Amino acid sequence: MNALDYAILLGTMLGIAAYAIWSTRGGHDLRGYLKGAAQTGWLTIGLSVMATQASAITFLSTPGQGYESGLGFVQNYFGAPLALIVVSAVFLPIFRRLRVYTAYEYLGHRFDPKTRLLGAGLFLLQRGLGAGITIYAPAIVLSTVMGWRLDATIVCSGLLVVAYTVSGGCDAVSMTQKYQIGVIFAGMIAAFFFLLAKLPPGLGVSDSLVLAGGFHKLGAVDFSVDMNRRYTIWTGLIGGMFLALSYFGTDQSQVQRYLCGASLRESRLGLMFNAIFKIPMQFFILLLGVLIFVFYQFERQPVYFNRAAWNDQVAHGQGVRLHALQADFDAAKAQERAHLQAWLDARHGGDPAAEAAERTASAAAQERAEAARNETKAILRKASPSNTANDADYVFITFILDHLPHGLIGLLVTAFFAAALSSKAGELNALGSTTTVDIYRHLARGGATDAHYVVMSKLFTALWGFVAIAFALFANLAENLIQAINILGSVFYGVVLGLFLVAFFLKWIRGTAVFWAALASQALVLGLYFTQSISYLWYNIIGCAACMALSLILQAAIDLGGRGGTLPAET
Amino acid sequence: MTVPPDDERTGLPGLRSWRQVYVFVLVVLAVWIGLLVALDRIFS
């Protein structure tokens, strides 16, 4: 990065934060601080919901997934439109009618205080951990590649988001998210067109897709019913729907975004905006990764993208072996390149037999290159167990730094930070609100003034920000970063969703039954997670189904025993 | 013709009730999945 890139990065990030602080200055009442001025339109809500979900990991790591595994990850989002319809039709009208600040307040209305605390506690636990990951994930990749200090990157980006979230509350979060997502889209679209322009002369989009298809990178929909496959249309539609339903319907970081709508209509349209554009957005980001894969078939690429880790091991006695693997990789790639060119020539010349033969030869050369890459990964993993980030996370940033012009590099790094801060702000805003409304006001000090709760909400938001920064400073992740977020969510979300579905649809079940059912279900999901290897998306269904089924059984047992739980309140 | 209450008004041309909006979203989902399947079939 040069001075221009740094100017774009610092100017944009500090400018957006300063504008948000300035325009939301002045006193707030509790409703204004936690839910905004209730003037938010559907587009701001839609972009805010999108920005909260799409963290830096989405833009940094997802192209790497596309590069390594193709488009299959897009299936993860197939259930999102279904879930958003349910949230819009069922959850949202009830939350608005009860005028709740948090989703868990509704559990208190419907069941009892302990169930409300359980819902809020599960949210604080998993979102508190997740907040650390959203700040750590981009920092580890960017600091490694740029040579920045990891701790300084985490602390500086963390403090910036804490500053404007604490200062302006919900309005500041929505406002910054709108500008930040604009920066993100501008950066990603510019990168896409620069990538197309960088493809070898004569290699058009159609030829690129043919090559990608030949390497099985375009398999976006898998109809397999194998439970061990992580992404199929079934895990996406069913598991993905439950994950999205839990996330959009019960996670306060999302609920808070659409509760600030000027009316039910604005909130609903904001959700439907996401229902329509979420899948194409993810497809576009994955396609970017697939096209980077095609690009690197014609350009020299490193056998291992995390050059800092590679150089570190070269300096520590692995140099001969690693250089030999790079040479094997280069040789296989050179052969592959020749076969790819012959494949394209045969295709343009209308010779299907030669096309098939060259395609097979290209695939064989690609396998040899992949074997060298896999061996390199194994050596680096064994030599440095602390190097736990997935190499695919470094693909996109390596492409950006090696092949894009200055100015655009600055814009894209700004986009990654904008994405990190936008999702982080939504999370901190929600963590602060839930701690204030569901824990502090409910347990510690009810009946205080609005001004007191606003001060406490600011304090709790700042506290969660510092917790997230501390967690990020000590984090150590083995999974691909975006998957780590989804796995963490899936382990807890199913049970929370179960609580809400019982509340909405099983009207005769009372607080005591659902409370113990939720605890038992969470224990079941954690037990399965640590002992089984099924796709993590299924945990959403298992947790939800177990919570609902056990609630029915326990309520029946309580009724039979003649000891009812707390009577349900009006909803 | 009955006028829908404010909460039921979508303000969208051609999609007057939320039920119609939800059906439209489902159709868009089916189209996306169909296009993704077609992309793989055409280029693989």
In-domain check, residue A302? no
Chain A residue numbers with beta carbons less than 8 Å from the beta carbon of B26 are 81-82, 85
pLDDT tens digits for chain A (571 residues)? 788 989 998 898 898 888 888 887 776 777 777 777 677 889 989 998 998 888 777 888 899 999 998 999 999 999 999 999 999 999 999 999 888 888 999 999 999 999 999 999 988 888 877 777 777 777 877 787 778 888 888 888 889 889 888 888 888 888 888 888 899 999 999 999 999 998 888 888 888 999 999 888 998 888 888 777 778 899 889 888 988 998 899 888 899 889 888 889 999 999 999 999 999 999 999 999 999 999 999 988 898 988 888 888 888 877 888 899 999 999 999 999 999 889 888 888 888 888 889 889 998 998 999 899 999 988 888 876 655 557 888 899 899 989 999 999 999 989 888 888 888 888 898 899 899 988 898 887 777 788 888 889 899 999 999 988 888 887 655 445 556 666 777 788 889 999 999 999 998 999 899 999 999 999 998 888 888 777 777 888 899 999 999 999 999 999 887 754 444 443 3
CB contact under 8 A, B18 and A220: no
Residue-number span of the structural domain to which A211 is assigned: 3-21+30-296+399-561
C-alpha pair distances (Å), A208 with each of A213, A354, A362, A363, B43 = 9, 18, 14, 15, 9
Distance from CA of A211 to the nearest CA of B (A): 8
Distance from CA of A160 to the nearest CA of B (A): 37
CB contact under 8 A, B44 and A218: yes
Distance from CA of A398 to the nearest CA of B (A): 27
In-domain check, residue A393? no
Chain B residue numbers with beta carbons less than 8 Å from the beta carbon of A93 are 7
Chain A residue numbers with beta carbons less than 8 Å from the beta carbon of B6 are 263, 265
Counting every residue written for chain B, the total comes to 44
Angle at A420 between CA A433 and CA A427, to 5 degrees: 15
CB contact under 8 A, A209 and B43: yes
CB contact under 8 A, B26 and A233: no
The residue with greater pLDDT, B15 or A27, is B15
- At A193 the three-state DSSP class reads helix
Q: What is the CATH number of the domain that holds A86?
A: 1.20.1730.10
Residues A207 and A324 in one domain: no
Residues A411 and A279 in one domain: yes
In-domain check, residue A538? yes
Report pLDDT for A485. Answer: 66
In-domain check, residue A569? no
Chain B residue numbers with beta carbons less than 8 Å from the beta carbon of A282 are none
Residues A120 and A265 in one domain: yes
Give the span between the Cα atoms of A240 and A282, in whole angstroms. Answer: 14
Domain boundaries, chain B: 17-44
Residues A48 and A184 in one domain: yes
Q: Helices in A349-449 by DSSP H: which ranges?
A: 352-383, 395-403, 408-434
In-domain check, residue A225? yes
Residues A241 and A323 in one domain: no
In-domain check, residue A60? yes
Residues A204 and A133 in one domain: yes
Residues A349 and A440 in one domain: no
Total domains in the fold of chain A:
2
In terms of Cβ atoms closer than 10 Å to its own Cβ (0-12, 13-18, 19+), residue A109 is middle
CB contact under 8 A, B28 and A276: yes
Residues A291 and A327 in one domain: no
Question: Does residue A343 contact residue A207 with C-beta atoms inside 8 Å?
Answer: no
CB contact under 8 A, A221 and B28: no
pTM: 0.85
Report pLDDT for A385. Answer: 63
Chain B contact probe: residue of A218, A232, A271 with most B CBs at under 10 A: A218
Residues A196 and A339 in one domain: no
Question: Does residue A290 contact residue A70 with C-beta atoms inside 8 Å?
Answer: yes
Give the end of a domain, one of A360, A388, A416.
Answer: A388
Give the end of a domain, one of A361, A388, A415.
Answer: A388
